[in-house]
Amino acid sequence: MAAQQVGSAVAVRSRTLRTLAIGAAVVTLAVMFPWEPLTGGLPEGSVYMPEDRWAVAGSAVVLASLWLVLLTYRVDADSDGIRVRGPVRDVTVPWSMVAAVSHNSGSPFSTLLLTSGDSVQMVALNRFDGQRAVDDIRALRALHKESTP
């Protein structure tokens, strides 16, 4: 998604990841809820109890929610620094520690190159978003340039 700029702040979320996550969650629910009618029932002599229906429905909800974890990827930046959010960890880095905002042509994700030699992948900025990702990277680079001495 194109960077949402508020003053000198930038907020980025991937449109492609959002579409993938919501679509996969809906398909998961659509396929798993009508499981018994789609499979034609159980073999003769087997009984499909109400608990089994609840178990399948619960499994569908759990699997759909796992797809929705992709919605947590986000990049927020302002004049103080940049925050890269993901499902497992958040990384906040002041601009003084950022050497460059990079995107290599062979990599699916953009990267923050740090002055310490480390790097932080920004999954919310991926090449599958096309021109939006390019615009987002340019906005982050401009913010980095104006926020560092």
Average pLDDT over residues 35-58: 69
Are residue 62 and residue 80 in the same domain, yes or no? no
Are residue 80 and residue 47 in the same domain, yes or no? no
- Contact yes or no for 113/122 (Cβ under 8 A): no
Are residue 10 and residue 78 in the same domain, yes or no? yes
Work out the pLDDT band at 147, boundaries 50, 70, 90: confident
- Contact yes or no for 100/44 (Cβ under 8 A): no
Average pLDDT over residues 118-142: 91
Are residue 125 and residue 79 in the same domain, yes or no? yes
Are residue 30 and residue 102 in the same domain, yes or no? no
Higher pLDDT, 43 or 56: 56
List of residues 6+ apart from 16 with CB closer than 8 A: 126, 128, 129
Higher pLDDT, 36 or 85: 85
Are residue 81 and residue 8 in the same domain, yes or no? yes
Are residue 65 and residue 78 in the same domain, yes or no? no
Q: What is the mean pLDDT of the chain?
A: 85
Higher pLDDT, 17 or 52: 17
Share of the chain above pLDDT 90, in %: 50
Work out the pLDDT band at 25, boundaries 50, 70, 90: very high
Are residue 143 and residue 81 in the same domain, yes or no? yes
- Contact yes or no for 143/30 (Cβ under 8 A): no
**Tokens found for residue 88:** 């497992």
Are residue 53 and residue 41 in the same domain, yes or no? yes
H or E, element range at 136: helix 131-147
Are residue 53 and residue 96 in the same domain, yes or no? no
Strand segments (E) across the chain: 4-6, 9-12, 74-77, 81-85, 90-94, 98-102, 109-114, 119-126
Work out the pLDDT band at 1, boundaries 50, 70, 90: very low
**Tokens found for residue 103:** 């995107």
* pLDDT at position 40 over 80: no
Tell me the pLDDT tens digit for each residue of 52-98. 778 888 888 999 999 999 889 999 999 899 999 999 999 999 999 99
| Residue 78 domain boundaries | 4-14+74-147
Of 120, 84, 85, nearest in space to 102 by CA = 120
Number of domains comprising the chain:
2
CATH code for the domain in which residue 135 is found: 2.30.29
Are residue 84 and residue 58 in the same domain, yes or no? no
Q: What is residue 48's predicted lDDT score, i.e. its pLDDT?
A: 66
Are residue 89 and residue 143 in the same domain, yes or no? yes
